[in-house]
């Protein structure tokens, strides 16, 4: 059993006009000074005058001698034979003016109009007979009159609608963030667009560190090229301007060319071990030999003078 005010075709196409039933007010089609009051799948809401069974009235026209009933309400829909669109037909209205045996009737053809998001309203397109009409024809454009497609088409339609809504949401989010970044944060270029940045993994290559012995040399005993280069850049003259490292301030060149305490003691013992008397005698012998022998003595004295030159210097001091 079908629901009230609905129509289902053999291919699964479904129409549902029940949302057009209004409990607040009637729909009015105004033609000149005449107002046609209608409601769908329920009785009219307006107050009626001199009408039998007002609760069953589906439409009426206001007149001085009494309201003219356009038809009695029901909940059945039919299909238009020419356009295959749903129709709402109400019959058993007031007696026709020219033929009291006939009753007034009204047919409303609904037209699918997706652009009309409201309920729409009826529009009178024809009346019969032209004088003192008794049969009325209306058209009603509304998005409610659009059919519900068969199951397969329904699913695809849902996917399209969902995709459209998702695309609108993404564009709204993207545009809003872009405007915020540009005008509020003052960003320019690609920084103003809310782009996703995918972090890239950092790959670190293994490093080999050599042990240092504190003298600028590695474990192999060779010099460090970094320190060698720094020294060369500071000097600017190659090997002759090499300076000692900071660690060589105390153990630098002074330490390398100084004598140890043991060596100084040994030299002192050698110098003090020589008899001062022998030194004077040797000196006198040398001078005497030089005076007697002449040039030969001078040569010999010069030869012996080389051996005592160091001691002589110490004695003179």
Q: Are residues 107 and 173 in the same domain?
A: no
Residue 308 covered by a domain: no
Quickly tell me which residue has 């339609």 as its tokens. 157
Residue 297 covered by a domain: no
- pLDDT attached to residue 16: 94
- pLDDT attached to residue 176: 87
CB 18 within 8 A of CB 3: yes
Q: Are residues 58 and 99 in the same domain?
A: yes
Q: Are residues 74 and 163 in the same domain?
A: no
Q: Are residues 170 and 73 in the same domain?
A: no
- pLDDT attached to residue 111: 94
Residue 248 covered by a domain: no
The domain that contains 138 carries what CATH number? 2.70.130.10
CB 52 within 8 A of CB 72: no
Q: Are residues 132 and 178 in the same domain?
A: no
Residue 304 covered by a domain: no
Residue 169 covered by a domain: yes
Give, for all 317 residues of the chain, the pLDDT tens digit: 568 899 998 888 899 999 999 999 999 999 999 999 999 999 999 999 999 999 999 999 998 888 999 999 999 999 988 888 999 999 999 999 999 999 999 999 999 999 888 899 999 999 999 888 999 999 999 999 998 865 545 456 667 888 899 999 988 988 888 888 888 888 888 788 887 655 666 677 666 655 555 454 544 445 544 444 444 444 444 444 445 455 544 454 444 444 445 554 544 444 444 444 444 445 444 444 444 344 434 343 444 444 444 444 444 44
Q: How many domains is the chain partitioned into structurally?
A: 2
Distances 220 to 212, 213, 223, 251 between C-alpha atoms, Å: 9, 10, 9, 22
Distances 286 to 52, 271, 274 between C-alpha atoms, Å: 175, 20, 17
Q: Are residues 135 and 183 in the same domain?
A: no
Q: Are residues 167 and 84 in the same domain?
A: no
Q: Are residues 91 and 175 in the same domain?
A: no
Q: Are residues 41 and 94 in the same domain?
A: yes
Sheet of strand 34-38: strand arrangement: 27-31, 34-38, 57-61, 68-72
Q: Are residues 91 and 171 in the same domain?
A: no
Residue 135 covered by a domain: yes
Range of the domain at 97: 6-145
Find the largest Cα–Cα distance for the chain: 191
Q: Are residues 81 and 174 in the same domain?
A: no
Residue 195 covered by a domain: no
- pLDDT attached to residue 295: 43
Cα(110)–Cα(115) distance, rounded to whole angstroms?
14
Q: Are residues 163 and 103 in the same domain?
A: no
Nearest CA to 106 out of 124, 92, 89, 122 is that of 89
Residue 309 covered by a domain: no
Q: Which residues contact 176 (CB under 8 A, 6 or more apart)?
A: none
- pLDDT attached to residue 101: 93
């Amino acid at each position: 059993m079908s629901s009230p005010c609905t129509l289902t075709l053999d291919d699964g196409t479904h129409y549902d006009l029940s949302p057009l039933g209004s409990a607040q007010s009637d729909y009015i089609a105004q033609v000149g000074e005449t107002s046609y009051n209608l409601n769908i799948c329920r009785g009219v809401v307006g107050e009626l005058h001199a009408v039998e069974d007002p609760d069953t009235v589906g439409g009426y026209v206001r007149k001085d001698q009494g309201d003219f009933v356009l038809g009695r309400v029901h909940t059945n829909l039919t299909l238009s034979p020419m356009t295959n669109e749903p129709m709402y037909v109400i019959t058993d209205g007031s007696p026709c003016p020219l033929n009291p045996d006939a009753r007034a009737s009204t047919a409303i053809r609904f037209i699918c109009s997706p652009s009309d998001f409201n309920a729409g309203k009826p529009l009178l397109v024809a009346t019969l007979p032209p004088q003192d009409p008794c049969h009325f024809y209306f058209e009603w454009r509304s998005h409610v009159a659009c059919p519900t497609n068969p199951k397969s088409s329904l699913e695809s339609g849902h996917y399209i609608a969902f995709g459209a809504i998702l695309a609108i949401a993404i564009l709204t989010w993207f545009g809003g963030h872009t405007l915020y970044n540009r005008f509020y944060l003052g960003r320019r270029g690609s920084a103003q667009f809310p782009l996703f940045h995918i972090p890239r993994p950092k790959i670190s290559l293994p490093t080999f560190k050599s042990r240092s012995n504190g003298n600028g040399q590695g474990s192999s005993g060779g010099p460090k090229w970094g320190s060698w280069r720094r020294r060369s850049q500071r000097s600017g003259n190659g090997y002759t301007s090499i300076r000692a490292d900071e660690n060589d301030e105390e153990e630098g060149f002074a330490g390398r060319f100084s004598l140890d305490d043991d060596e100084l003691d040994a030299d002192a013992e050698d110098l003090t071990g020589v008899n001062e008397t022998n030194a004077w005698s040797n000196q006198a012998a040398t001078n005497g030999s030089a005076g007697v022998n002449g040039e030969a003595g001078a040569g010999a004295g010069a030869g012996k003078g080389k051996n005592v030159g160091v001691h002589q210097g110490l004695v003179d001091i």
